[in-house]
Structure 1
Amino acid sequence: MPNHWTLVTGMYEEDHGIIANKFWDPVWNKTYQFSTESEWFNNTEPVWITAEKEGKKTGAYMWAGNEATYDGQTASIVIPFAYNAEFEDSMEVVVQWMAEEEVDFACLYTDQPDSDGHKYGPNSEEVKERIKAIDKVLGKMMDEFDTRGLTDEVNILIASDHGMTDVNSSKMINLGAYIDFDADIEWSYLSAIGLIIPKPGNLDEVYTTLKDAETTETHMKVYRKADIPDDLKYKNNRRITDIVLVAEPGWLFAKSATYKTSLLGNHGFDNKNSDMKTTFLARGPDFKCGYTQDAMRSVDLYPLLCELLQLETCHSSRGWTNNTQNLLSIEPCIPVAGGTVISSTVVPIFTLIFFLTTKLI
């Protein structure tokens, strides 16, 4: 969830405030958990709202935060999230938007192969087969764009909000061996990270206990909020808790030794780990053909979208246009229509995300 919002705002979690799939707001005295309420998202304007304000028509299909309103405004077309939505059906709808609804910008989210990655593991045969199926749908989409005469009119960007690594019940960090959650902890969220709010008066004791546990529990790092490394971009927000735990990739936090995860794949670890990296692909009249580069950051996608849409009022972001300028072509580059755009040998792209934007003039 957090990086979905980063991709369309160009801001880090500490900026836009969606800091995890579940978190506590100490001012509002309430918990966020996959909420669609506007108040959680209104801190930062997504690109589709900026585009709407500048007279463009947009669509947001199953995207986190797409139901939020900004002074009563949403994307022109909003499709709420639905579990187990068929990717091919979703894609057909978005192609129709571009071809028949005169949509200038559309973004689409699908929960595959992310769901299969969690259930079977990122390197499983099930995930490989899912990627092949997605690949075929993408090839069909390209053919449909060609049939409708859109190949040289639409830029297609394929991105993701995270990678994934193997996990299992043998790699659980039992925090209950060090602290008493009932007696010491007011609120917590545990996964690849641990967000810990001690009960009043317990902060120093809980922190010291967990910090001391680092010497024996070598698969975690324990931070006071003020000491969280700056490169994590996860410090300067009231929703980030006084104590934050970071698990070694492949390990998960638990309250007790009896807890056993059902997951075989997960994400949310330090993004310097190679398994957390993902793939970005782009195709269309404004992109070079056959060009590759080493990396870009999630926040860099937002200014690229603003440029492709020729928006004049995009807010300042953490993204750098210099990181994406080499992707763009001065002369139109129209790839051959049809076929697949993702090889099944590519590192799996989890939680596939699609952007479709009209070309630069």
Structure 2
Amino acid sequence: MLQLQAFLYLATTIVAVWSSPNDGGSDTETESYSNKVLLISMDGFRWDYLNRVSTPNFDEFAKHGTRARFINNTFTTKTFPSHYSIATGLFEESHGIIGNSMYDPVFDETFSMRTTDSKWWGGEPIWITTRKQNLHSATYFWPGSEVNFNGTRPNIYMPYNQATPFHTRVDKAIDWLRNQDMNFVCLYFHEPDATGHRYGPNSDEVLEKVKEMDILLGYIVTKLQENNLADKVNVMVTSDHGMTELDVRNRVIDLNQIVNMSLIKRTAARDIVTHITPKDGQLENVYNALRLQSNMTVYHRKDLPDRWHYKNNRRVMPLVVVADDGWLVSQAPANLLLTGGRGGHGYDNALSSMKPIFLARGPNIKPNYEISPFLTVDIYPLVCELLNLNPAPNNGSLARTRDMLVVNPRIPVG
């Protein structure tokens, strides 16, 4: 057990696994890696999309690298919490980003996806670990990458602009790796998430978008090859979560119809995972009004499943309502009808519909290999290993991913 002093103000004691870059080496020699990593997120890329449509570039990528059938992400399965868990190797209760929106009772403030004040962001993301150990990092759109961590930022970071063409993002990332000697680069794409939200994961539109992302991956590989980087950069392609089908007309629970809202002081998050703070003395009244409702589950904070690694944070409110897969819990159902989205995420991370992809390829990645599903928090110590970095305290384990690694010939020390 490690006491994570850096962010005790956010969470209670967590179990952290340390991963040493040279774990298993001898006193006279050390393992050597290429020391360059490109981490790519394709938001909302559900694991089984690759089984539904022809994806020749993903197939070729996997043939020359390592693939997991799926990986196990964090709860809640939302964009900001999940991405920040990948970046830090921490569960959401530990890094404190427990939702795309949330309320902090000490700050008496609400977080949104535009919030970059460092007081909200616990842990140490990989681009900061890289900088602290005298390597170079660059980020192209990643939740938390615009935050100033006590005066430290990535060497290069880009303010989020969804309109930036995907090829522009790729070209810039390649330039950073080749001409600006970046050791770590992360690259974010908001698809197929955006299409999944609009049309649903079972739509033809999503399948067409998956084909487009396949072509984009082919472009990335081609640019790496053209710039003599294919044998120098270890590339990982992953996602934050999956997607499930919604029906905003027939699978919505109106919170106003099952509980007296005058008994509630505050709500946060809403729709899929809804946090509730009842007024003083009304906790059990509100809980009892909610607990018999079908297609959702209400929890006292202390009773949230341990496997979620979610409840030990002050930003989690006294009651948490979690909708069943494909259902929504809303205080404003009419607004859902206006948006008309057919896909959503944020549900229990044990659901197959919420699982993301993982593939990797590069000079230190085992070719034509399938690794057992691991945790998204394991990606942080894996990247640290490939960059020969000492990881910050984290909840991941290198033991779950080490099998995919191929080290260069051992180099004598001294």
Shared fold per TM-score greater than 0.5: yes
- Quick check: 130-139 or 6-15, which moved more? 130-139
Going from structure 1 to structure 2, the CA distance change for 1:304 and 1:257 (only over 3 Å counts) comes to closer
- Quick check: 220-229 or 254-263, which moved more? 254-263
| Deviation digits for residues 283-308 of structure 1 (CA, Å, limit 9, x no counterpart) | 00000101012301111111101101
Q: What letter matches 2:400 in structure 1?
A: N
- Cα deviation, residue 189, structure 1: 2.7
Q: 1-side partners of 2:235 and 2:116: how far apart?
A: 29
Q: 2-side partners of 1:135 and 1:81: how far apart?
A: 23
Tell me which residue corresponds to 1:138: 217
Going from structure 1 to structure 2, the CA distance change for 1:257 and 1:115 (only over 3 Å counts) comes to closer
What RMSD in Å do the two structures reach over aligned CA positions? 1.5
Match of 1:289 among 339, 356, 367: 367
Q: 2-side partners of 1:222 and 1:83: how far apart?
A: 35
Match of 2:381 among 280, 300, 303: 303
Q: 1-side partners of 2:197 and 2:305: how far apart?
A: 28
Match of 2:269 among 186, 189, 195: 189
Query: Is 2:220 the counterpart of 1:147?
Result: no
Q: 1-side partners of 2:136 and 2:118: how far apart?
A: 23
Tell me which residue corresponds to 2:244: 165
Q: 1-side partners of 2:333 and 2:183: how far apart?
A: 52
Q: Does the 8 Å CA contact 1:177/1:256 hold for their aligned counterparts?
A: no
Q: 1-side partners of 2:123 and 2:364: how far apart?
A: 27
| Secondary structure of residue in 2 paired with 1:226 | helix
Tell me which residue corresponds to 2:153: 74
Query: Is 2:381 the counterpart of 1:271?
Result: no
Going from structure 1 to structure 2, the CA distance change for 1:97 and 1:257 (only over 3 Å counts) comes to closer
Q: 2-side partners of 1:197 and 1:35: how far apart?
A: 24
Tell me which residue corresponds to 2:392: 315
The normalised TM-score by structure 2 is: 0.76
Q: 2-side partners of 1:321 and 1:35: how far apart?
A: 32
- Cα deviation, residue 183, structure 1: 4.8
Q: Does the 8 Å CA contact 2:263/2:282 hold for their aligned counterparts?
A: no
Segments of 5+ residues of structure 2 without an aligned counterpart are 1-79, 410-414
- Cα deviation, residue 65, structure 1: 0.8
Tell me which residue corresponds to 2:279: 199
Q: What letter matches 1:250 in structure 2?
A: G
The normalised TM-score by structure 1 is: 0.87
- Cα deviation, residue 172, structure 1: 0.5
Q: What letter matches 1:198 in structure 2?
A: P
Segments of 5+ residues of structure 1 without an aligned counterpart are 333-361
Q: 1-side partners of 2:199 and 2:385: how far apart?
A: 39
Query: Is 2:326 the counterpart of 1:247?
Result: no
| Deviation digits for residues 114-143 of structure 1 (CA, Å, limit 9, x no counterpart) | 011000111211111112112112212211
Q: Does the 8 Å CA contact 1:181/1:255 hold for their aligned counterparts?
A: no
Query: Is 2:255 the counterpart of 1:175?
Result: yes
Q: What letter matches 2:324 in structure 1?
A: E
Q: What letter matches 2:274 in structure 1?
A: G
Query: Is 2:92 the counterpart of 1:13?
Result: yes
| Deviation digits for residues 180-222 of structure 1 (CA, Å, limit 9, x no counterpart) | 32453423331211111112332221112112xx2xx321111
Q: 2-side partners of 1:186 and 1:278: how far apart?
A: 32
| Secondary structure of residue in 1 paired with 2:259 | coil
| Secondary structure of residue in 2 paired with 1:239 | coil
Q: Does the 8 Å CA contact 1:17/1:239 hold for their aligned counterparts?
A: yes
* Ranges of 4+ aligned residues in structure 1 off by more than 6 Å: none
